[in-house]
A and B are shown apart, each in its own frame.
Chain A
Amino acid sequence: MKCLGIDQVYSYLEKELSSEENKKIEEHLATCLKCKKALEERSLLFQAADSLPLWQIPPDFTQQVMARVYPDKVTLRQWLTAVAVGTSSIVATLLAFFIFTGQNLTTFLSGITHTLWNLVRNIAIIFIKLFKIASLLITVARQLVEHLFENFARLTTLISPEVQISIITFSILLFTFLILGIRRKILIGEKS
C-alpha cells in the first residue's frame, strides 16, 4: 500500500472506515514511520480540539430568555386585586387617623369636598378663558386671510398678466437669494 492521503488519516482517526480498510491502513502504519507520525500528530491535535473550553454564559441566562419569550402580562384579576388593596389601605389609614387624632369625620370630608370643588371650578374657569382666546384668534386670522384674498383679487384686475408674471418671478428670485444668503451666513458662522 502506498502512503496515506490526508483524508484517509482523518477517516481512520474518526473511525469512519470499514474494518477491511482499517486493517490495510494498520498494516501500512506498521511499516511507514512518516504516516505513523502524521497520524499521531493529527490525533493529538484534535484531541485538544475536542476539549476546547465552553463559552461562558451568565447564570441567569435562562431567566433572561424566558422573560423575553413570556413577558409578564397583568391580568384583569391582578388589576382588580391592586385596586381593592389600594382602596382598602386608604380607608384603613383614614380610619386610623380619625381614631388616633379624635377628629370629626364629617368635618374632614366636607373640608376635602370643598377644596376639591374649588380646584375643579378654578380649572374650569381657566379652560373657558383659554377657549375664548382661541376662538378670538381664529376669527381674527380668518378675517385677515379673507382681506388678503380680496385685495389680491383686486390687484390682479388692475395689473396686466405680463407685469404679474414679472412680479412673481422677481419675488421668487428675491426669496431664493434671501434663503441662500441666510444659509451662507450660517455656514460661515459654523466654519468660524
Chain B
Amino acid sequence: MDEDKKLVERTIKGEKEAFEMIIRKYQQPIANYIGRMVGERELALDFTQEIFIKTYSALPSYQPEYKFSTWLFKIASNFIIDHWRKKKIGTLSIDQQRATEDQKPFPQIPDSEPSIVKKYEISELRERIEKVLEKIPASLRELFIWRHINEFSYKEIAEIKGLPVGTIKNRVFQAKELIRKNLEEKT
C-alpha cells in the first residue's frame, strides 16, 4: 500500500497527524492549480482550505483502488466547476464545443512562423505565459496546469476528468498551441 493510502487509513482511524501530513504534501500542488484557475490570491487560499475540508469529510468514501492524488484533484476540479456554476460562468461547461474541436485534425507547421522564444529572457517568458494562461478557456487551462505545473501524466489527467487519454492529450496540445498563438499576438 502506498504512503497516501496509509495516511488516509490513519486519518479515518482518528490520527490528526496523518491528515496534517496529507495537507502538507498537497497544499502546494492544490494552491498552484486553484490559484491559476481563480486568479485572486485570497479567494484561491480560501478555496484551497475548503477543498481540504471537503476531502476530509469525503475520506470514508475514498476507494483505495484509485490513486489518492487524482481523487483529490477530482474534488478540487468539481469544486471549481460548482463555483463557476453558482456564479453562472459557463467556462468549464463547454465540453460539447470542445468535443467538436477535438474532431478537427491538427494543422501542419506553417511555412513562416515567427520566433517568440528567442525574443525574451526565460524569466520574462514565464511572466508572459502566466498572463496568457488567464486568457485561454478554463477547460484547457486546467489541463495545461495539471500537465505542466502539477506534472501529472496524461493517464492521471484522464482519470481525474473521466475522459480518454487521447482526448486529454489532444486538448493539452490545443492549450499549448493556444498559448503560443496568444504569445505571438502579444509580440
Which residues does A use to contact B, with CB under 8 Å?
A: 2-11, 16, 34-35, 37-38, 41-42, 44-58, 61-62, 64-66, 68-70
**Most interface-central of A5, A7, A49 (chain B CB within 10 A):** A49
Q: Are B149 and A66 in contact (CB under 8 A)?
A: no
Known contacts: A6-B109, A55-B32, A62-B20. The answer to whether A48 contacts B122 by CB under 8 A is yes
In the bound complex, residues from chain A placing their C-beta under 8 Å from that of B56 are 69
- How many Å lie between the Cα of A50 and that of B42 in the bound state? 25
Q: Is the interface of A mostly helix, strand, loop or mixed?
A: helix
* Interface flag for B1 (CB, 8 Å): no
B106 partner, pick from A6, A53, A57, beta carbons under 8 A: A6
Q: Are B109 and A3 in contact (CB under 8 A)?
A: yes
**Most interface-central of A58, A61, A65, A70 (chain B CB within 10 A):** A65
Interface stretch (choices B44-52, B61-69, B87-95): B44-52
Min CB gap B177→A, angstroms: 6
- How many Å lie between the Cα of A91 and that of B169 in the bound state? 75
In the bound complex, residues from chain A placing their C-beta under 8 Å from that of B126 are 48-49, 51-53
Known contacts: A41-B115, A54-B32. The answer to whether A70 contacts B16 by CB under 8 A is yes
Known contacts: A5-B108, A54-B28, A65-B27. The answer to whether A41 contacts B53 by CB under 8 A is no
- How many Å lie between the Cα of A11 and that of B122 in the bound state? 23
- How many Å lie between the Cα of A160 and that of B102 in the bound state? 83
- How many Å lie between the Cα of A58 and that of B179 in the bound state? 30
In the bound complex, residues from chain A placing their C-beta under 8 Å from that of B7 are none
